[in-house]
């Protein structure tokens, strides 16, 4: 019996060492979604990018690949074990089938309705959206209840990027659009759309933005370590400095 226990312990130690060795290098994907992920001279930068890179550096993990793709392709790569991790992702139940979420998000993120200032639109309840033409982005994790409401009571137009929706809103081709607050502010500033306003009093949802890890390529123990390191980083001044750099 003692020999069996020792043999089992030996096997577990070898397995742990292999997992740990594999997790010393990571391939990571994302989309370009400012200010969380931006492209600078062909390299990925941005708020989430800096946070993820710093946490992995503190964990002594080398990023052997960090590349941006369209969102649905990046998500597919993690789902099919073609990449170790993806950021910045909202929580969605179906993703937990193939990915681990850390306990700690990179940042909290409100999603809001945007309208043209000239329309004097007021948003207090979902009923205010009825019969409106609303732009959404294909593949984004809006809440199931909200999507059902939109498809039942509004005219939905889906596109592949938030920028497209804001351009359509500015040109009165849709009545409203839905976007994460920080990303929306970045887009309207970049496109010089100063007559578009967010309705921040009643967010559609407030959700965390996470890095998610493929279950076949990364262990739960690694994800827990990442979460703990992220919690420490968020208490430090560098985290707040980066936040101010990208959100002001």
Q: Which residue has the tokens 């009825």?
A: 130
Q: Residue 228: in which H helix or E strand, if any?
A: helix 220-234
pLDDT tens profile 91-142:
989 999 999 999 999 999 899 999 999 999 999 999 999 999 999 998 887 8
10, HSE (Cβ side, Cα atoms, 13 Å): 6
For residues 207-223, average pLDDT: 96
Q: What percent of the chain is predicted at pLDDT more than 70?
A: 91
CB neighbours (10 Å) of residue 42? Answer: 6
Mean pLDDT across 16-27: 60
* pLDDT (average), residues 148-157: 96
Distance of alpha carbon 215 from alpha carbon 14, whole angstroms: 19
Task: State both tokens at 112.
Answer: 């809001």
Residue 27: burial class (beta carbons within 10 Å; 0-12, 13-18, 19+) = middle
List the single range of 136-140, 164-168, 239-243 with lowest mean pLDDT.
136-140
Mean pLDDT for the chain? 90
Percent of the chain surpassing pLDDT 90: 80
pTM of the model: 0.73
Q: Give CA–CA dist 75/69, Å, rounded.
A: 9
């Amino acid at each position: 019996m003692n020999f069996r226990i020792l043999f089992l312990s030996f096997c577990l130690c070898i397995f742990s060492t292999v997992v740990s060795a594999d997790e010393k290098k990571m391939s990571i994907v994302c989309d370009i979604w400012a200010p969380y992920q931006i492209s600078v001279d062909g390299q990925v930068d941005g708020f989430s990018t800096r946070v993820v890179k710093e946490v992995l550096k503190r964990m002594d993990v080398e990023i052997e690949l960090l590349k941006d793709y369209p969102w649905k392709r990046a998500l597919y790569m993690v789902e099919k074990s073609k990449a170790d991790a993806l950021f910045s992702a909202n929580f969605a139940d179906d993703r937990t089938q193939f990915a681990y979420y850390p306990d700690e998000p990179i940042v909290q993120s409100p999603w809001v309705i945007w309208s043209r200032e000239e329309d004097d639109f007021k948003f207090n309840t979902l009923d205010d959206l009825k019969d409106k033409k609303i732009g959404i982005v294909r593949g984004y994790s809006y809440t199931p209840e909200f999507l059902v409401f939109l498809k039942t009571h509004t005219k939905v137009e889906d596109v592949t990027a938030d920028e497209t929706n804001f351009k359509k809103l500015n040109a009165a081709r849709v009545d409203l659009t839905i976007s994460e607050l920080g990303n929306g502010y970045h887009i309207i500033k970049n496109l010089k759309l100063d007559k578009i306003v967010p309705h921040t009093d009643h967010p559609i949802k407030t959700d965390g933005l996470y890095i998610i890890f493929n279950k076949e390529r990364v262990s739960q123990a690694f994800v827990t370590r990442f979460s703990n390191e992220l919690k420490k980083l968020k208490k430090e001044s560098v985290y707040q400095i980066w936040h101010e750099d990208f959100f002001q």
